């Protein structure tokens, strides 16, 4: 919102209006434009500025384009909300679709004396299980140690990677290692623990 | 935004009134979708808990009743099941994004650690939840998992005994699995999500994130 003051407004009169606007809770910046003194309302509920229209020095109020204002003068930019809501609706729709097309089953009755020949582990445990089971029973500890080491390195990455900037030229060892790790993890997840 | 200490309300309010930066690529959406799916999980989980009977003799009947007789019961269970998988996929995507872009460096270090802890919790909640079906596969998965935990040095036997509730996998084990899945871990996860939002809000207030 721009408050346009008449051309003959003195500095004292301008300061008086600025003081009045600040008392109304508005942030004001004095400027000049088109040969006239102007007051740019930078924050606060701009509709309150209408109260200064009764002052003879105020020629007009010019609303500036921009986001709507809500109570307490907070500016609302609903773009995040709109995009996030759309994304939320899409993912919820996907869940409903999957629930209808691939409903979870109830499984077989438990047989305490007859464990199944193969256990159906969840897919998200395939990669860590494959890493551990890559070693035979006597050397399984190597697999566990490797898994633990991987977790510790991942946790400590901010301390290990001290590079600056986003460029691939500086970060290529880390980007390369990350890509290799992701590809291996995907492969092990896909093939399962038998790999 | 006054001061550097922000409440959760201020963090959310700040996010809502933030304009999109030029070239916005939808990056924050992964985190938001995780929160959405977590809310879905809480809602459907509460509904499922009203029908689920945590007793080995009654689990199967209660699940069949839910799927066949309860209005929209099949949908609630299906959404709960798939949303848990969805959360893990989103976690993995977020992890890869952080890893490739190097977003774990600098002021995001805390969020990286928090994110890894949250990912581990989400996987743990999903895995324990899959055991609550209490069928042949779930029973033996649980038995095998407890054997692995028991083999851990020093803390293993004690931890396995606490989780199992005795020497054998029994109704007590099922009850403990339910308590861990529906009460303990979701509360911890909620706490971490809140902490993460607080970190985000604080960084946002400092101008670190546009």
CATH number, domain containing residue B128: 1.20.810.10
Q: Chain A: nearest CA to B107, how far in angstroms?
A: 10
Q: How high is the mean pLDDT of chain B? A: 86
Higher-pLDDT residue of B10, B93: B93
Residue B174: inside a domain: yes
User: Which residues in chain B touch residue A99, judged by CB atoms under 8 angstroms apart?
Assistant: 74-75, 77-79, 81-82
What is the mean predicted confidence (pLDDT) over B94-117? 88
User: Does position A154 have pLDDT exceeding 80, yes or no?
Assistant: yes
Query: Looking at chain A from residue 75 to 94, which residues have their Cβ under 8 Å from any Cβ of chain B?
Result: 75-81, 83-84, 87-88, 91-92, 94
Residue B16: inside a domain: no
Q: Chain B: nearest CA to A38, how far in angstroms?
A: 26
Confidence of residue B26 (pLDDT cuts 50, 70, 90): low
Per the CB < 8 Å rule, is B16 touching A76? yes
DSSP state of B168: S
Residue B116: inside a domain: yes
| Residue A172 at interface with chain B, using a CB cutoff of 8 Å | no
Nearest CB among B32, B82, B141 relative to A84 is that of B32
Nearest CB among B13, B83, B136 relative to A109 is that of B136
Confidence of residue B28 (pLDDT cuts 50, 70, 90): low
Residue B2: inside a domain: no
Confidence of residue A65 (pLDDT cuts 50, 70, 90): low
Sequence-separated contacts (24+) of A129-135 with Cβ below 8 Å: A129/A192, A129/A193, A130/A188, A130/A191, A130/A192, A130/A193, A130/A194, A130/A195, A131/A188, A133/A193
Higher-pLDDT residue of B5, A188: A188
Domain coverage including residue B147: 29-205
| Residue A74 at interface with chain B, using a CB cutoff of 8 Å | yes
Residue B12: inside a domain: no
A-B contacts (CB, under 8 Å): 152
Per the CB < 8 Å rule, is B130 touching A78? no
pLDDT of residue B84: 96
Q: Chain B: nearest CA to A134, how far in angstroms?
A: 16
Confidence of residue B114 (pLDDT cuts 50, 70, 90): very high
Query: Which one of B99, B117, B142 would you mutate to disrupt binding with A, by most A Cβ within 10 Å of its Cβ?
Result: B99
User: Does position B30 have pLDDT exceeding 50, yes or no?
Assistant: yes
Nearest CA in chain B to A144: B152
Residue B210: inside a domain: no
What digits encode the pLDDT tens for the residues A69-90?
555 555 556 666 777 788 889 9
pLDDT of residue B25: 57
| Residue B104 at interface with chain A, using a CB cutoff of 8 Å | yes
Confidence of residue B2 (pLDDT cuts 50, 70, 90): very low
Per the CB < 8 Å rule, is B16 touching A158? no
User: Which residues in chain B touch residue A120, judged by CB atoms under 8 angstroms apart?
Assistant: 137, 141
User: Does position B13 have pLDDT exceeding 80, yes or no?
Assistant: no
Higher-pLDDT residue of B9, B162: B162
pLDDT of residue B155: 87
The pLDDT > 90 percentage for chain A reads: 25
Confidence of residue B171 (pLDDT cuts 50, 70, 90): very high
Residue B22: inside a domain: no
Confidence of residue B209 (pLDDT cuts 50, 70, 90): very low
How many domains in chain B? 1
Residue B125: inside a domain: yes
pLDDT of residue A69: 52
Sequence-separated contacts (24+) of A35-42 with Cβ below 8 Å: A35/A7, A36/A4, A36/A5, A36/A6, A36/A7, A37/A5, A37/A7, A37/A9, A38/A2, A38/A3, A38/A4, A38/A5, A39/A2, A39/A3, A39/A5, A39/A14, A40/A1, A40/A2, A40/A3, A41/A1, A41/A2, A41/A3
Contact indicator for A87, B33 with CB cutoff of 8 Å: yes
């Amino acid at each position: 919102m721009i408050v346009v003051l008449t051309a003959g407004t003195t500095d004292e009169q301008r300061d008086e209006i600025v003081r009045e606007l600040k008392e109304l809770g508005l942030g004001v910046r004095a400027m000049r434009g088109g040969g006239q003194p102007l007051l740019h309302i930078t924050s606060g509920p701009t509709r309150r500025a209408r109260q200064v229209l009764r002052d003879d020095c105020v020629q007009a109020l010019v609303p500036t384009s921009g986001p709507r204002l809500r109570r307490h003068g907070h500016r609302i930019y609903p773009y995040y909300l709109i995009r996030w809501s759309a994304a939320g609706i899409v993912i919820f729709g996907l869940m409903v679709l999957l629930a209808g097309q691939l409903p979870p089953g109830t499984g077989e009755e438990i047989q305490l004396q007859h464990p199944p020949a193969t256990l159906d582990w969840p897919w998200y445990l395939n990669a860590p299980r494959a890493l551990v089971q890559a070693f035979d029973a006597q050397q399984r500890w190597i697999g566990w140690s490797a898994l633990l080491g991987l977790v510790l390195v991942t946790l400590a990455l901010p301390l290990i990677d001290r590079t600056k900037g986003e460029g691939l030229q500086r970060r290529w060892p880390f980007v390369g290692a990350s890509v290799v790790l992701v590809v291996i993890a995907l492969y092990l997840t896909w093939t399962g623990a038998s790999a | 935004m006054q001061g550097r200490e922000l409440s959760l309300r201020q963090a959310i309010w700040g996010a809502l009134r933030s304009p999109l930066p030029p070239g916005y690529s939808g990056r924050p959406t992964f985190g938001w979708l995780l929160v959405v799916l977590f809310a879905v999980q809480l809602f459907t989980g509460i509904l499922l808990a009203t029908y689920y009977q945590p007793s080995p003799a009654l689990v199967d009947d209660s699940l069949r009743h839910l799927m066949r007789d309860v209005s929209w019961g099949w949908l609630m269970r299906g959404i709960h099941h798939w949303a848990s998988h969805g959360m893990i996929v989103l976690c993995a995507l977020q992890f890869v994004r952080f890893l490739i872009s190097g977003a774990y460096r600098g002021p995001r270090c805390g969020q990286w650690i928090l994110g890894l802890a949250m990912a581990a919790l989400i996987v743990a909640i999903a895995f324990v939840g899959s055991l609550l079906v209490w069928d042949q596969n779930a029973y033996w998965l649980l038995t095998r998992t407890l054997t692995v935990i028991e083999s851990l040095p020093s803390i293993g036997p004690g931890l396995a005994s606490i989780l199992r509730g005795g020497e054998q996998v029994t109704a007590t084990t099922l009850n403990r699995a339910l308590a861990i899945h529906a009460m303990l871990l979701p509360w911890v996860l909620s706490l971490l999500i809140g902490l993460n939002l607080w970190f985000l809000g604080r960084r946002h207030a400092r101008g670190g994130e546009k």
